[in-house]
Amino acid sequence: MSLIAVERIKLLSTRSPYWCMIAIVAASLLIALAIGLGDSGRQAIPYFALRGVGLGLSIYMVLAALAVTTEYRFSTVRSTFLAVPKRTNVLLAKTLLLAGIGAVVGFLCAIGAFFLTKLLAKDPPDPLVLQGQVWREVAGYGALFAIAAIIAVSVGTLLRQSAGAIALLLLWPLLVESLFTLIPKVGPKAGPWLPFTAGDRFITPTSVTDQFQDAVPQTGPTPVQGLLVFLATAVVLWLIAAFVLNKRDA
């Protein structure tokens, strides 16, 4: 527990986490605002209205990766290992803290974006009520943020430098996975099972009205399968990171 407190002090005694948080909230609310107001809210299904939270997830991964890479940049990681020589415990504490904060931030931003849309949308296609699969589409962001934090901490630990880690964490979901689907035959089949695309299924509605049929992906894993693929990726990466961290000279 005290190690988590240590990581909390370290995280909150620098400025960049606060700026990242502001950016996450802004992205979440601005997209919700646009969807809620645009076209009198006729596009306002949660899947669209919460896309800003998805953008926030990328920003949160940057925050989580920086929590590791700045330690390498300023060599505070060495001070850290002098204070706590059991490196796995350090990584675990950092991961738990960032996953925990991520769960809260993701959940709150999603709830906030949902209710902002509900407030603004005059003519939503379906009533915006938190029930059934809508709960999963909103609260699911909490789970995605937590898992994304594990991935980001692991990538930051493995790469040790900010630019590389951030580039990888942004390009992987935004570019690599979408380009993969362009590969003939294999792409469309395996593409939806790639970690971030699969994770996205957890906040995707399983049934939508015909109007949105083309815009909402329906193939690939079920929401729970998608979440498990995402989680498994995170756990594997984390184990590799923990192994490498212990082998490597600090």
- CB-hemisphere CA count at 13 Å for 144? 35
Q: Does 250 bind another protein (CB under 8 A)?
A: yes
Q: What is the DSSP letter of 147?
A: H
Q: Could you tell me if 162 and 69 are in contact, meaning their C-beta atoms sit under 8 angstroms apart?
A: yes
Q: Does 22 bind another protein (CB under 8 A)?
A: no
Closer residue to another protein (CB): 10 or 160:
10
Q: Does 9 bind another protein (CB under 8 A)?
A: yes
Distance CA 158, CA 244 (A): 7
Q: Candidates 20-28, 46-54, 79-87, 182-190: pick the segment binding another protein (CB under 8 A).
A: 79-87
Angle at 196 between CA 191 and CA 24, to 5 degrees: 145
Of 185, 182, 186, 191, which is closest to residue 219 (Cα–Cα)? 191
Of the candidates 18, 19, 39, 74, which one interacts with another protein according to CB under 8 A?
Answer: 74
Q: Tell me the closest approach of the beta carbon of residue 27 to another protein, in angstroms.
A: 24
Distance CA 111, CA 142 (A): 10
DSSP H or E stretch at residue 231: helix 223-247
Q: Tell me the closest approach of the beta carbon of residue 178 to another protein, in angstroms.
A: 36
Furthest C-alpha separation in the chain: 60
Distance CA 162, CA 155 (A): 10
Q: Does 3 bind another protein (CB under 8 A)?
A: yes
Q: Candidates 10-18, 20-28, 57-65, 113-121: pick the segment binding another protein (CB under 8 A).
A: 10-18
Q: Candidates 58-66, 77-85, 100-108, 228-236: pick the segment binding another protein (CB under 8 A).
A: 77-85
Q: Tell me the closest approach of the beta carbon of residue 244 to another protein, in angstroms.
A: 13
Enumerate binding residues for another protein (CB under 8 A). 2-3, 5-6, 9-10, 13-15, 70, 74-76, 78-86, 247, 249-250
